[in-house]
Amino acid sequence: MVASNIEVWQHATVVETSEIATGIRRIVLEPNRPVKADPGTHLDLMVTIDGRPERRSYSIVDASPDGRRVALSVFRTPASRGGSIAMHALQVGDVLEVTQPLQNFPLRHGAPRYLLLAGGVGITAIVAMARALARVKAEFTLVYAGRSRAAMAYLAELEAELGDRIRIHVDDEGTTMSVAGLVEQIAEDTEVYMCGPIRLMDAVRRAWNDRGLPPQQLRYETFGASGWFDPQEFTVRIPRLGVETVVPKGRSMLEALEEAGVDMMFDCRRGECGLCEVRVLDLAGDVDHRDVFYSDRQKEARAKMCCCVSRAVSATDAPAVVSIEVS
Amino acid sequence: MTDTMPARQTSTTHKVMPHPLNAWYVAAWDHEVTRTPMSRRIADRPLALYRTEDGRAVALADACWHRLAPLSMGKVVGRDGIQCPYHGIVYDSLGRCVSMPAQETINPSATVPSFPVVERYRYVWVWLGDPALADPDLVPDMHQMDDPAWAGDGLTIHAKCNFQLVLDNLMDLTHEEFVHTSSIGQEELSESEFIVSHDERTVTVERWMLGIDAPPFWLKNIRDKFPDFSGKVDRWQIIHFEAPSTICIDVGVAKAGTGAPEGDRSQGVNGYVMNTITPETDRTSHYFWAFMRNYRLESQLITTQLRQGVTRVFGEDEVMLQAQQEAIDANPDYEFYNLNIDAGGMWARRIIERMLAAEGRSARMAPAAPASSMTPVRRTGA
């Protein structure tokens, strides 16, 4: 597992785009400086949203062995921040700025057994792992959960390729996955690789920790795109700086503060590193923690937020208001 | 001559070569890897090597995920972990962060590359290429290293040359006449016939010199077994190359005319020169060697004498190899030419070229400072 996180930017041409499941488009790119894409890798790319260049991360679903053709799949979220809308609008022949494959989610070879867990469009990070493990005849199961079969990308291919190594849970067929039941049955030497909505991943992480399983055997990736609540518009204030701005549904608090002219510190922009931490001074509403930086205890305290992904939400008609202090 | 003339596309254009990555390389002698982490650059990658509590050897990239401090300067913790000496981040033997002291959670991206390791034949072998291909059965055969029928020992040379030059050196032993004049050299080496054969992963070069005087090194050895010996010997050198960089040489002498060429070596002494070359950088190599013998197994004196004797002989090679690498670098406009005596080395080069091709890589060494139109940059959002 030789991970590379050196960003080499290049141009990539869209050579195919098609709807492969409800709301999910498969987009095939031909980068001009191809390199091999290992399972677990993603691309970062620049999309234009409201005239602004924005950076987004997408898992590499599959790629030719030489990396000359790279496929992504993008779910157009109802609460899109704009990235998925722009990606769905791509046409064959469009040229994007993309990185060479980046690796934050390497698949380790040689584990006694594996469980791959995909929720919804999280399958995009898992497909290549399933195929790699099948190729080396590793002991593994893919658990794939979704709202409906029509919304589950790559379902037919994976069922055909993996046979009894795949287990399907479909909400509208009444076979919704039980996280407790799943984690209870995991053998102690299992390595788990999961990608999906943060509710699913938080639930698995809690059940995992409750069982006392080794935390390093639970591998996951998140791009901070999902939360416990649908995004709402809210107001953020920084009393010390006299700043007050509205965070629209499609923007992050970090982006809104940057646009308001606040000099913000940040790094990963996906809720992992904790550098964009803000201190909560006052809160009308609740915090939708979408990061993986804080522990449950810290999230419960609502004293700090990772403003790159986390949001304020309101249970009433009045929008939430959060007052913060920044570093 | 241009690149468009395929007939000229032989390995002759590649004076030195990149190393295949899908291969096992020796990272260290077994005794070197302990509970105190050590650092060694293998195939251009700095590794931290240590052992777990239950004695398993571990190879991690020698740079902490956080700020790239060398893990090899840290200490082992717990059953199989290693702690970064700088900010205390702990990784397990698979390179996964298990403790991030300054926060309540662990960053899910926090891993350092971990490389497959096999311990065999008194060596710790590592695989730096595609881990899915890391089949322990591909470890080259060096069984004489720990077979009870053999005794001996060896050392490591830090050779200041590309690994391919060491392979060339070992695949053509006519150089012994000129480089090793006082020990194993003799003019019959250049004068005798040799036979080369190969398959997909191996090359063999066999040379017999019949009815000759034993050179000083071999006269001493045969007298260790037959103290009263005098007279002519039949001498053999059978070079076994196994890709990408292991060469075990079956060497020996027997009393002349006692049937050694036909397979009866009872009237002689037999050694195996075990060599496995690990690229360190494009211009330096870790050259692990040992001299094993299958007679007088009980004698530590002979083990020590042979190790010291071969150390002197290989010291002569080391001087030549470094001088050759310097001459290659100082004369970039000159090509290699090849002779009939290079057949063994040329087959080894061809096998290595095919391994590189299978990895989608060229046998041409990248220029020292690659020109790049798009340099690595760190981009941060809008």
Cβ contacts of residue A180 below 8 Å, gap of 6+? A207
User: Are the beta carbons of A272 and B128 separated by less than 8 Å?
Assistant: no
How many angstroms separate the Cα of B136 from the Cα of each of A155, A255, B115, B120? 35, 51, 13, 9
Q: Is B1 a domain residue?
A: no
Q: Which of A9, A104, A216 is facing B98, going by the closest CB pair?
A: A216
Distance in angstroms between the alpha carbons of the first and the last residue of chain B: 51
Q: What is the pLDDT of residue B376?
A: 42
Rounded to 5°, the CA angle A215-A116-A173 comes to 120
How far apart CA B65 and CA B112 sit, in angstroms, is 6
Are B196 and B333 within one domain? yes
Query: Mean pLDDT over residues A211-223, rounded?
Result: 91
Burial tier of B277 (Cβ tally within 10 Å: 0-12, 13-18, 19+): buried
Phi, psi at B195, each rounded to 5°: -125, 130
How far apart CA A160 and CA A143 sit, in angstroms, is 15
Q: Chain B: nearest CA to A319, how far in angstroms?
A: 27
Cβ contacts of residue B109 below 8 Å, gap of 6+? A104, A105, A221, A268, A272, B65
Q: Which of A108, A109, A269 is facing B381, going by the closest CB pair?
A: A269
Question: A113-220 has which CATH code?
Answer: 3.40.50.80
Report the Cα A18 to chain-centroid distance in Å. Answer: 21
Cβ contacts of residue B83 below 8 Å, gap of 6+? B74, B75, B76, B77, B89, B90, B99
DSSP A308: T
Q: Which amino acid is at A89?
A: A
pLDDT band at residue B7 using 50, 70 and 90 as cut-offs: very low
Q: At what angle do helices B300-330 and B163-171 cross, to 10 degrees?
A: 120
Query: Mean pLDDT over residues B252-274, rounded?
Result: 97
Q: Is B6 a domain residue?
A: no
Q: What is the pLDDT of residue A223?
A: 79
B116 and chain A in contact, CB less than 8 A: yes
Nearest one of A254, A261, A182 to A218, comparing CA atoms: A182
Q: Which of A109, A293, A297 is facing B132, going by the closest CB pair?
A: A109
How far apart CA A193 and CA B355 sit, in angstroms, is 32
Q: What is the pLDDT of residue B366?
A: 62
Alpha helix (H) residue ranges in chain B: 163-171, 176-179, 188-191, 216-225, 300-330, 343-358
Q: Cβ–Cβ contacts within 10 Å for residue B138, how many?
A: 16
Query: Mean pLDDT over residues B147-165, rounded?
Result: 97
Rounded to 5°, the CA angle B48-B50-B55 comes to 155
Q: Which of B104, B116, B128 is facing A110, going by the closest CB pair?
A: B116
Partner residues linked to A288 by β-bridges: A311
Q: Is B10 a domain residue?
A: no
Q: Which of A9-18, A122-131, B170-179 has the lowest mean pLDDT?
A: B170-179
Q: What is the pLDDT of residue B373?
A: 39
Summarize pLDDT for B46-56 with one digit per residue, the tens. Answer: 999 999 999 99
B340 and chain A in contact, CB less than 8 A: no
Cβ contacts of residue B9 below 8 Å, gap of 6+? none
For chain A, which residues make up each domain, given as ranges? Answer: 9-101, 113-220, 234-325
**Which has more confidence, B226 or B380?**
B226
ipTM of the complex: 0.84
DSSP B111: B
pLDDT band at residue B147 using 50, 70 and 90 as cut-offs: very high
User: Are the beta carbons of A292 and B128 separated by less than 8 Å?
Assistant: no
How far apart CA A322 and CA A287 sit, in angstroms, is 9
How far apart CA B347 and CA A316 sit, in angstroms, is 78
Are B195 and B315 within one domain? yes
Q: Chain B: nearest CA to A56, how far in angstroms?
A: 8
Q: Which of B97, B128, B378 is facing A7, going by the closest CB pair?
A: B378
For chain A, the residue count is 327
Q: Which residues of B touch A299 (CB under 8 A)?
A: none
Q: What is the pLDDT of residue B374?
A: 41
Q: Which residues of B touch A55 (CB under 8 A)?
A: 379-382
B343's tokens: 């057949």
Rounded to 5°, the CA angle B283-B284-B287 comes to 145
Q: Which residues of B touch A269 (CB under 8 A)?
A: 380-381
User: Are the beta carbons of B95 and A1 separated by less than 8 Å?
Assistant: yes
Phi, psi at A260, each rounded to 5°: -80, 0
User: Are the beta carbons of A292 and B98 separated by less than 8 Å?
Assistant: no
Report the Cα B270 to chain-centroid distance in Å. Answer: 22
Right CATH for A234-325 from 3.30.565.10, 3.10.20.30, 3.50.50.60, 3.30.70.930: 3.10.20.30
Residue B329's domain is classified under what CATH number?
3.90.380.10
Number of domains in chain B: 2
**Which has more confidence, A78 or A105?**
A105
Q: Which CATH class is domain A9-101?
A: mainly beta
Are B203 and B130 within one domain? no
Q: Chain A: nearest CA to B113, how far in angstroms?
A: 5
Q: What percent of chain B has a predicted confidence (pLDDT) above 90?
A: 80
Strands A166-170 vs A140-146: parallel, antiparallel or unpaired: parallel
Q: Are A174 and A152 in contact (CB under 8 A)?
A: no
HSE value, Cβ hemisphere, 13 Å, CA-based, for B374: 14
In DSSP notation, B185-210 reads --THHHHS-EEEEE-SSEEEEEEEEE
Q: Which residues of A touch B381 (CB under 8 A)?
A: 54-55, 266, 269
How many angstroms separate the Cα of B168 from the Cα of each of B221, B239, B240, B344? 26, 12, 13, 8
Q: Chain A: nearest CA to B107, how far in angstroms?
A: 6
Summarize pLDDT for B317-376 with one digit per residue, the tens. Answer: 999 999 999 999 999 888 888 888 889 999 999 999 999 999 988 888 765 443 343 444
Query: Mean pLDDT over residues B210-214, rounded?
Result: 96
Q: Is B13 a domain residue?
A: no
Are B283 and B338 within one domain? yes
Q: Is B278 a domain residue?
A: yes
Q: Which of A8, A44, A108 is facing B94, going by the closest CB pair?
A: A108
Q: What is the pLDDT of residue A4?
A: 64
Are B126 and B171 within one domain? no
Q: Is B382 a domain residue?
A: no
User: Are the beta carbons of B108 and A132 separated by less than 8 Å?
Assistant: no
User: Are the beta carbons of B381 and A36 separated by less than 8 Å?
Assistant: no
In DSSP notation, B81-97 reads EEE-TTT--EE-TTSBE
pLDDT band at residue A3 using 50, 70 and 90 as cut-offs: very low
Are B149 and B117 within one domain? no
For the CA atoms of A20, A25, A28, A33, the dihedral, rounded to the nearest 10 degrees, stands at -150
Q: What is the pLDDT of residue A224?
A: 76
Q: Which of A8-12, A82-86, A161-165, B73-77 has the lowest mean pLDDT?
A: A82-86
Which residue of chain B is at minimal alpha-carbon distance from A8? B376
Query: Mean pLDDT over residues A26-33, rounded?
Result: 96
**Which has more confidence, A279 or A80?**
A279
Q: Is B332 a domain residue?
A: yes
Q: Is B338 a domain residue?
A: yes
Nearest one of A206, A234, A184, A233 to A292, comparing CA atoms: A206
**Mean pLDDT over each residue of chain B, to the nearest integer:** 91
Q: What is the pLDDT of residue B13?
A: 55
Using DSSP's 3-state secondary structure scheme, residue A193 falls into strand
Q: Are A12 and A31 in contact (CB under 8 A)?
A: yes
User: Are the beta carbons of B104 and A255 separated by less than 8 Å?
Assistant: no
Nearest one of A198, A161, A157, A150 to A71, comparing CA atoms: A157
Are B49 and B132 within one domain? yes
Are B123 and B156 within one domain? no
Q: Which of A320-324, B179-183, B330-334 has the lowest mean pLDDT?
A: B179-183
Residue B118's domain is classified under what CATH number?
2.102.10.10
Strands A190-195 vs A113-119: parallel, antiparallel or unpaired: parallel
How far apart CA A271 and CA A223 sit, in angstroms, is 8
Query: What is the residue range of B110's domain?
Result: 24-136
Rounded to 5°, the CA angle B347-B351-B354 comes to 140
Query: Mean pLDDT over residues B143-156, rounded?
Result: 98
User: Are the beta carbons of A220 and B108 separated by less than 8 Å?
Assistant: yes
Query: Mean pLDDT over residues A278-292, rounded?
Result: 96
Are B48 and B75 within one domain? yes
Are B126 and B145 within one domain? no
Strands A9-21 vs A24-31: parallel, antiparallel or unpaired: antiparallel
Partner residues linked to B204 by β-bridges: B197, B240
Q: What is the pLDDT of residue B365?
A: 75
HSE value, Cβ hemisphere, 13 Å, CA-based, for B379: 22
Domain boundary among B82, B117, B136: B136
**Mean pLDDT over each residue of chain A, to the nearest integer:** 93
In DSSP notation, A28-62 reads EEEESS-----TTEEEEEEEEETTEEEEEEEE--E
Cβ contacts of residue B334 below 8 Å, gap of 6+? none
Q: What percent of chain A has a predicted confidence (pLDDT) above 90?
A: 85
How many angstroms separate the Cα of A206 from the Cα of each of A176, A180, A193, A200, A319? 18, 9, 15, 10, 30
Q: Which of B97-106, B192-201, B268-277, B367-376 has the lowest mean pLDDT?
A: B367-376
Residue B244 has pLDDT above 70, yes or no: yes
Are B130 and B167 within one domain? no
Q: Which of A8, A215, A272 is facing B374, going by the closest CB pair?
A: A8
